[in-house]
Amino acid sequence: MNLKRTFGSILTVLGIIGLIYTAVSFIQHSGDTRTVITLGVLGVIFFFTGISLVRTTKDET
């Protein structure tokens, strides 16, 4: 199994978790505004980086 593809999948899942947590915090008005924005930005970065790693890594056997 390719290490880059695995790392990309982990980053994608972390990004999704961060985005969901940000959305729930935003809707419930819980937490500091800066914290919510920071988690949202990190979630977006992790998500798109993970997707990019998965898409650009070739399967070589």
- In this prediction, residue 3 carries a pLDDT of 86
Burial class (CB in 10 A: 0-12, 13-18, 19+), 40: middle
Confidence of residue 59 (pLDDT cuts 50, 70, 90): confident
Residue ranges per structural domain of the chain: 3-56
- In this prediction, residue 1 carries a pLDDT of 62
pTM of the model: 0.85
**Model pLDDT for residues 15-58, shown as the tens digit of each residue:** 999 999 999 998 998 778 898 899 999 999 999 999 999 898 88
Distance from the Cα of residue 31 to its chain's centroid: 20
Taking residue 58's Cβ as centre, other Cβ atoms within 10 Å add up to: 7
Q: Which residue has the higher pLDDT, 60 or 20?
A: 20
